[in-house]
Structure 1
């Protein structure tokens, strides 16, 4: 992996890690539904502008069902899970749980294709579950405030990502940029009828408004562009490195900007989650750094 690709990888991880910070800031005034409707809406608008500038065609009539399923399962539902959880959980905790995505993907793929989980996948899944149990079980505030339910909800996000990942393995391939633009557009449309039944809790102030815009444009729209560039430059195996870097940045942004406290149980649980994901995927940092597509 070249220096330029490594810098892009760190940038992507820092941006996606910051998404949990922005959700923590935006969730209290807007509530989860309008927070996520704003996120996918700003992302869809940004990607539509990019598509016009790059003269890319979406082929919406041909692929609208595909975009709808992808938009709901890879954006609308998992983002809603995080939006709800952001009212109760720290950015640090959400970013760590997000690292379980490949573990859920492996488990769902095994169920769908009716293949037994490998020994490494079982070990990885067990480590991941143990890691979440350590984070939650030793956090007195979660039990005191009954925020443990938010942990169950936030686990729905990597579950949805796992379903979406399995789905993409069995459908006819669509251009990556089109997937990003189409899924954001359909996620926006899917959430709009639901959003009409909710109202924001309060009018967001300047910082909260900027956070929501950044969440949609930077953490979603710009992040997708960086993601697809890296996918083309270094391949999916090396790109998996971002999964393990996101929690580092998620914890960092939470501590610096929200004064979140990270206990030893969070550190130990986070390490177990990351190790579980690495074991499930067979990931090696050495191989990833050496890989060039």
Structure 2
């Protein structure tokens, strides 16, 4: 168990970085193009590893992988990339913790977990925390900010809902094959939006470096690690890394983007 906990900490540090990099790159490339390039880079990196390990693509499970791709990576990354245009990275990191709440509900519905009183109380507290963030943060609660927060929460919700689906998938497929298939399908799903953003995108060295880091490490390697962990623990145990992701996400935003820890962040967290 200690080994899996150590992996969850490493996973949290990786995923926490993505909020900072998304906040930096989304205004430069456009949210749709950023999400698509991130998925494409992850698919390439994972395909290279699969080729090296001589693993086959799980083509026969394309429907299941398609749903996982949509809920687990394509929709959440596109939504958080759009929200990053209007919210600090610390906001995004804190709002992502609501994925645990929706993951608990989805896991109970799919009979992968039992929904106890404390878990239900956590759901309520998570929504209250998001409300505190909007009302007491450094930004005025404008309609645009409220929309960005709402979209981020939806992104976190669908991400959390994918956890019990991934738990079932790893019992039938190799974690690496699942992760590679998900990101390849997600890239295809996000292509239409990427084409829309392409004419306005500015392909700076910094933005492309962010895409490489996010695609290779915070998506490809991190999701592979997440799927491997999911083989040995329950969905909620795996999702518990989200609390550490939030802490790392806020920390990186403060250290590298100069964001501040305000009352909304403290009370929302």
TM-score, scaled to structure 2: 0.88
Query: 1:127 & 1:104 partners in 2: Cα distance?
Result: 12
- 1:217 counterpart residue number: 216
- 2:70 counterpart residue number: 72
Check conservation: 2:41, 2:215, Cα contact below 8 A. Answer: yes
Assess, with a 3 A threshold, how the Cα gap between structure 1 residues 164 and 197 changes in structure 2: closer, same or farther.
same
Gaps of 5+ in 1: 271-293
Assess, with a 3 A threshold, how the Cα gap between structure 1 residues 200 and 182 changes in structure 2: closer, same or farther.
same
Assess, with a 3 A threshold, how the Cα gap between structure 1 residues 12 and 69 changes in structure 2: closer, same or farther.
same
Query: 1:142 & 1:110 partners in 2: Cα distance?
Result: 37
Aligned residues: 266
1:130-167 alpha-carbon deviations (Å, 9 max, x no partner)? 11111111125242573121000001112112332344
Query: 1:262 & 1:227 partners in 2: Cα distance?
Result: 29
Secondary structure, counterpart of 2:256 in structure 1: helix
Structure number with greater Rg is: 1
- 1:19 counterpart residue number: 18
- 1:120 counterpart residue number: 118
RMSD over aligned CA atoms reads: 2.5
1:1-293 matches, cutoff 5 A: 1-2=1-2, 7-60=6-59, 62-110=60-108, 118-144=116-142, 146-168=144-166, 173-199=172-198, 201-231=200-230, 235-236=233-234, 239-270=238-269
Check conservation: 2:167, 2:230, Cα contact below 8 A. Answer: no
Secondary structure, counterpart of 2:198 in structure 1: coil
List, as ranges, runs of 4+ consecutive aligned residues in structure 1 with deviation greater than 3 Å. Answer: 4-9, 108-113, 115-118, 166-173, 228-232, 234-241
TM-score, scaled to structure 1: 0.82
Check conservation: 1:34, 1:200, Cα contact below 8 A. Answer: no
Gaps of 5+ in 2: none
